[in-house]
Structure 1
Amino acid sequence: MAETKREIERKYEATAETRLPDLTRAAGVASVTGEGVTALDAVYYDTADLRLAADSLTLRRRTGGRDAGWHLKFPVAAGVRDEIAAPLSETLPPSLAELLRSRLRHTEVVPVVRLRSSRDVRHLRDADGTILAELSVDTVHADRLLGGEGSAAWTEIEVELADDTDPTVLDAVEKRLRKAGIHPSGAPSKLAHALDETGLAPEPRHPAPPAGDGTAGAAVLAYVREQIEAVVRLDPAVRRDLPDAVHQMRVACRRLRSAFKTYRKVLDREVTDPIGAELKWLAGELGHSRDQEVLDARIGDALDALPRDLRHGPVRGRLRTWGNARSRAARHQALDALDSPRHLALLDALDGLLADPPLRPAARKKAGKVLPKAIRRDHRRLADRMGPALGLDPGHERDLALHEARKAAKRTRYAAEAAAPALGKPAKRFAKKVKKVQSLLGDHQDTVVARTALDDLARQAESAGEPSFTWGVLHARQEAAATAQERRLPEVWEKAVPPGLRAALGH
């Protein structure tokens, strides 16, 4: 079973002659205790084209020390990584292989470098003897194992924060180290240092086009690349069930589909339409999980807001049982999709699109000429849906029409956001205005979905001999919320139709 640990650390350059200062003078550190010297032997694995290193991931098999085994590290922020450990075995553990699937696809990992280290460990403790951080002086020898020979040796200092400790401890320690002439390392990890020193520095799989050429193709491809990278990056996050990962992955799929449709004058639809259909499939498979997250939160919050005398029967237990069953089924569906050959084929197709972009003649034109026209076209499409929807009487048909308008608003917003780096503040302001329309329409759709769910909960309660009164009260409140949102919609929509739309979008 793999275990996850949040690793917060800083690395510093050192030599064999480097001497540590008195760290008890660092704020909060009362004592420093020596923990002895340990020999570590780690083989780092990657694909032959170093795609893990290119994404700042590290995969190693290490012996020696108290945490021997396989370790996979995902970057979180500067100096922060999530380390996922699995027991020592001869081959890559399946639990880690799953998390690497979006990067590895059909490719095997191979040994890349071997690092042998002598680690001299010290524990920094507070006045109560509690460990605040672990400082190690590592003497490292690296040997290249992939595509030739090469070796390197260096000494570094690593300070890792203890669990549940205030990160300001690291600032206090760094202050003392800097005063002693010890400075932060230029390498983010031992692997990065070893690759650089042995001539194995990774290259981007799909180099970005030259920045600043001002063409529509460059602008659209930059946005498309960003969303494709998000889909790949979020795959392991969904598998780990990290907060908001499903939602963000669905958003990346939707943004890609929207870009393909909006900028069809830039990217050839004969290539992008089949990919868009697969993105729609993936977003749909993930959607059940996300929809259940939203439902659980919405109904749970509404239940919390009810006065006690309106809560009849075991409503919390009923909601929990109902939600857990649906969440489990939705999660299984999402994971099945990520494990499917169809998902891998989609990722390969996205790679192919970046490797050989299907650019049309308009891609060579200036972004300021092409992108505003596409945004205005999407805005007209949104207006064609909003007008009829606002004219309908409240009810099922209006709910459906507003939902279609919501999808059009989302596409218009994404179009403006994609163009913002090229068009600047006017596109950003326009995107914010349309986002307000989309958010209001989204809230309205949430009430529609919630009412359907509340009907289901009421039926289940009645079948179990429980009162359905509370579910009816919540249904009525969701209906009232929808009515209030519908009243606000014309005003919000009017603000999203600036009279100078053409000028606002730079044309």
Structure 2
Amino acid sequence: MDAAKACMETVRDCRQQLQDNAKVFLTRDPDSNHLHKMRVALRRMRSTFGISPHAFDETAFSDISTELKWLLEELGPARNWDVFVLKILPPILAALSQEHDFAKLQQSSDVLRRKNRDRAITAIESHRFQALLLELKAALAHDSWLQGNASSIGHFANLVLEKCYHNFRKRGRSITTLHPEQLHTLRINGKKLRYASEFFLPLYPARSAHSFLTALSGLQDTLGAINDAVTANHLFKELPDVDLATSCLVKGWLACETRQLTGQLDLQWKQFNTIAPFW
């Protein structure tokens, strides 16, 4: 199999994941995992299009990429509020609820969570979403966009992985001094490296890749937690009539958590850089 056809199979799998989880999400299933899986499928598709210009015509999916970005933007706020209500708030309430009443904060957060889930549902129920699924299906039904001189999958894998690895390490220099926007960019580059690694993993010995992927996943988890804390601070501004005491408690908690995570990130980054790439 050449690189282009391998990428095509990845897009096909992502489309199916998107469609299957959208169906469950529309049942108003309270499990936020289906929303998360939809966003992962969208990001994987965008990443595949982004790393594959040598495998197929890079303009072939330009219109589809625009629609994938639109859908991510429609689903993003719902996911952010899921994280805020289900992940950020519970430990804060468990630790501090005896000293402070968080009822108003909980109520307002639930209202905004439902509002943004309704926005996500509206997007998935729209004709625009159905058109996106049909466009993807049509693109996958023929191979006119495949490059005639597409490289072998092994050669292509090495090129892509090396490029993603170089970009990730470059972005992570002086990691403890990076501000939130730079850490967010580093996190995105880490996702691209992880997606590419998982995509090409069957081509390499599993044992040699295990340590690399374990270290990379740990970094991604920490970067994700830092990003969640930063996002939570932004979301907090959307909450109506939050009293000063509640605001100080939550923001103080998030600041302490971010400080701890940043220290953890430094150690993880050093450990990651001691592991040789598996390709």
Taking structure 2 as the reference length, what is the TM-score of the superposition? 0.89
Q: 1:488 is matched by which residue type in structure 2?
A: Q
Structure number with higher helix proportion: 2
Q: CA deviation at 1:353?
A: 2.2
Match of 1:267 in 2: 56
Q: C-alpha separation between the residues in 2 aligned to 1:331 and 1:448?
A: 21
Match of 1:495 in 2: 271
Q: C-alpha separation between the residues in 1 aligned to 2:241 and 2:203?
A: 53
Q: C-alpha separation between the residues in 1 aligned to 2:133 and 2:182?
A: 33
Unmatched segments (≥5 aa) in structure 1: 1-212, 393-397, 463-467
Q: Residues 367 and 486 of structure 1: is their aligned pair in 2 closer, same or farther, counting only changes over 3 Å?
A: same
Match of 2:82 in 1: 293
**Partner deviation per Cα, 1:211-238 (whole Å, 9 max, x = no partner):** xx4x323432222221111111112111
Match of 1:410 in 2: 191
Q: Determine if contact 1:288/1:330 at 8 Å carries over to the other structure.
A: yes
Query: Pairwise mapping of residues 33-112 of structure 1 onto structure 2 (< 5 A)?
Result: none
**Partner deviation per Cα, 1:315-343 (whole Å, 9 max, x = no partner):** 12x12321222122212211221122221
- Residue 387 (str. 1) matches residue 163 (str. 2): no
Q: CA deviation at 1:496?
A: 2.7
Q: C-alpha separation between the residues in 2 aligned to 1:497 and 1:355?
A: 42
Q: CA deviation at 1:416?
A: 0.7
Q: Residues 359 and 422 of structure 1: is their aligned pair in 2 closer, same or farther, counting only changes over 3 Å?
A: farther
Identity among equivalent positions (%) equals 25
The secondary structure found in structure 2 opposite 1:264 is coil
- Residue 232 (str. 1) matches residue 232 (str. 2): no
Q: CA deviation at 1:299?
A: 1.3
Size of the aligned set, in residue pairs, is 274
Match of 1:377 in 2: 163
Q: C-alpha separation between the residues in 2 aligned to 1:424 and 1:280?
A: 34
Q: C-alpha separation between the residues in 2 aligned to 1:477 and 1:223?
A: 40
Q: Determine if contact 2:176/2:263 at 8 Å carries over to the other structure.
A: no
Query: Pairwise mapping of residues 120-269 of structure 1 onto structure 2 (< 5 A)?
Result: 213=1, 215-242=2-29, 243=31, 244-269=33-58
Unmatched segments (≥5 aa) in structure 2: none
Match of 2:92 in 1: 302
Query: Pairwise mapping of residues 17-32 of structure 1 onto structure 2 (< 5 A)?
Result: none
Match of 1:3 in 2: none
The secondary structure found in structure 1 opposite 2:60 is helix
The secondary structure found in structure 2 opposite 1:461 is coil
Q: CA deviation at 1:265?
A: 1.7
Q: CA deviation at 1:282?
A: 0.7
Q: Determine if contact 2:18/2:38 at 8 Å carries over to the other structure.
A: yes
Q: C-alpha separation between the residues in 2 aligned to 1:356 and 1:342?
A: 22
**Partner deviation per Cα, 1:147-188 (whole Å, 9 max, x = no partner):** xxxxxxxxxxxxxxxxxxxxxxxxxxxxxxxxxxxxxxxxxx
Q: 2:216 is matched by which residue type in structure 1?
A: V
User: Which of 201, 212, 218 in structure 2 is aligned with 1:420?
Assistant: 201
Q: Determine if contact 2:52/2:58 at 8 Å carries over to the other structure.
A: no
Q: Residues 257 and 356 of structure 1: is their aligned pair in 2 closer, same or farther, counting only changes over 3 Å?
A: same
**Partner deviation per Cα, 1:456-495 (whole Å, 9 max, x = no partner):** 55x6133xxxxx3233122111101101111121221233
Match of 2:113 in 1: 327
Q: 1:299 is matched by which residue type in structure 2?
A: L
Q: Determine if contact 2:172/2:186 at 8 Å carries over to the other structure.
A: yes
Q: C-alpha separation between the residues in 2 aligned to 1:441 and 1:250?
A: 18
Match of 2:230 in 1: 448
Structure number with higher strand proportion: 1
Q: C-alpha separation between the residues in 1 aligned to 2:238 and 2:124?
A: 29
Q: Residues 217 and 446 of structure 1: is their aligned pair in 2 closer, same or farther, counting only changes over 3 Å?
A: same
Q: C-alpha separation between the residues in 2 aligned to 1:361 and 1:384?
A: 33
Q: CA deviation at 1:389?
A: 4.9
Q: Residues 429 and 267 of structure 1: is their aligned pair in 2 closer, same or farther, counting only changes over 3 Å?
A: farther
Q: C-alpha separation between the residues in 2 aligned to 1:335 and 1:380?
A: 38
Taking structure 1 as the reference length, what is the TM-score of the superposition? 0.51
Q: C-alpha separation between the residues in 2 aligned to 1:361 and 1:388?
A: 43
Q: C-alpha separation between the residues in 1 aligned to 2:194 and 2:67?
A: 22
Q: C-alpha separation between the residues in 1 aligned to 2:199 and 2:205?
A: 11
Q: C-alpha separation between the residues in 2 aligned to 1:429 and 1:367?
A: 23
Q: Determine if contact 2:74/2:120 at 8 Å carries over to the other structure.
A: yes
Q: CA deviation at 1:427?
A: 4.4
User: Which of 331, 340, 349 in structure 1 is aligned with 2:126?
Assistant: 340
Q: C-alpha separation between the residues in 2 aligned to 1:238 and 1:330?
A: 13
